[in-house]
Amino acid sequence: MTPEARLQAVFELLAAIDASPRPADGTVSHYLSQRRYIGSKDRKDIVERTYGVLRRRARLEWWMDRVRQPIGPRAHLLADLAMTDGLTPEKLDKIFLGERAPQPLASEERKLVGALVSRPLFHHDMPAWVKGEYPEWVEAKLTGVLGERAGAELAALREEAPLDLRVNTLKATREEAQAALAAEGITSEPTPLSPLGLRLPGRVALVQLTAFRDGWVEVQDEGSQLAALLTDARPGEAVVDFCAGAGGKTLALAAQMQNKGRLLACDVSQGRVDRAQDRLRRAGVHNVRKQVLSGEDDKWVKRHAKSFNRVLVDAPCTGTGTWRRNPDAKWRLTPERLDDLTALQSRVLASAARLVLPGGRLVYATCSLLPDENDARIDAFLATHADFTVMPIAEVWAAVLGTPCPVEGPYLRLTPARHGTDGFFVAVLERKPAVQAPKPEPEAEAETIPTPEADAP
């Protein structure tokens, strides 16, 4: 593709992302799947520019507002070309030529580009939320929970995330998978916290790799790997992945269980459950049964109350911990959406708890940094479920992983700058074992007292 054709693709993608309710990665995947003629290098350049604009949106709009120019997907890209590439209106005029070139600059667009050429992406007048690229209304929540590390953590959320893979132990060891990737020219490093993870420095075309096609590796952030590991699902047990989604944690649980036992993958979406089938087959997983729920009050939950050793709830959440991967998601988040999600999280957690047998564990996880979705949800749950107690995460970590726990406190709280993972929260709760009623003492045999015989006549 020519440079101008690549820019036209970015224009189209940004407009599609802006107009669609689906996440950016879904829109990008759909767009590229409809254009097989776009080569791998061109795809890489198009995706990098598109996500770059999304990552710089707040700063671009701050400057656009400052120079009083219109805001929109096309204007975002023009501002980015002016500020990050130093392109002038005259240079863009030369680029915007040819059959597949973008529409020539309008007069207002020329003013925008001319006003922003080589402006710095950071300016001392910018508020913290603009520099950090997040909605202003969540600033107090994020800085409150992150404390003195807020600046570094928010800066890390602004950057691109590495690509983490989880090794499927049903088929290979981490060393074998790493060697297989290296044989195809892909360098990787073991993740520092998860014993199953490999970290790649950048994007790769995974579907072209034998290790991926043969099910040796799956895409999964290190934090998500740890959430699955800390569920401590054991071979032969009965386990539920209550919000299975696309099946990433289901696959991890199945491997942890060595394909032995009963593993239920539950979700309210038939489509998501069906799409997980190919991943299960590729991974060689055969102990999973899929269960579509009508909602958190589905009758299936009632019928299977207190039947499972482990129940993992990877709750629907804002995804604030994944903003490195989904920079568009932050601008879709509203206070009303957060309220809806926290109410749903409480209902889902209460429903899933019914499945846990006495002495079993309920694991609650989110990829969120917001306390509303994490500590507050656990506090609210415990206030109405006296038969559950918190298991200190350091104890669970030591028993499962055998290494020093990287956090203090009762819960696992991972962050990008400190741990190199997505933002993640995990709480492990245990249902109190059933109290055995004391067996009654055997009654002592009554002592027989001889009756004096009557005097003989």
pLDDT(451) > 50:
no
Distance separating alpha carbons of residues 376 and 342, to the nearest angstrom:
9
Structure-block tokens of residue 216: 């040796």
If one counts every other C-beta atom within 10 angstroms of the C-beta of residue 143, the result is 18
pTM for this entry: 0.90
Distance separating alpha carbons of residues 342 and 42, to the nearest angstrom:
41
pLDDT tens digit sequence for 288-320: 999 999 888 889 999 999 999 999 999 999 999
Quote the pLDDT of residue 438: 61
CB proximity list for 37: less than 8 A, separation 6 or greater: none
Q: Environment class of residue 153 by beta-carbon count within 10 Å: exposed (0-12), middle (13-18) or buried (19+)?
A: buried
120: left (phi over 0), alpha (psi -120 to 50) or beta: beta
Lowest model confidence (mean pLDDT) among 115-119, 124-128, 269-273: 269-273
- Residue 455: pLDDT band (50, 70, 90) is very low
Contact predicate 177/169, CB 8 Å: no
pLDDT tens digit sequence for 61-103: 999 999 988 888 999 999 999 999 999 999 999 888 867 778 8
pLDDT tens digit sequence for 319-349: 999 999 999 999 999 999 999 999 999 999 9
Average pLDDT for 395-422: 96
CB proximity list for 66: less than 8 A, separation 6 or greater: none
pLDDT(3) > 70:
yes
pLDDT tens digit sequence for 260-285: 999 999 999 888 888 888 899 999 99
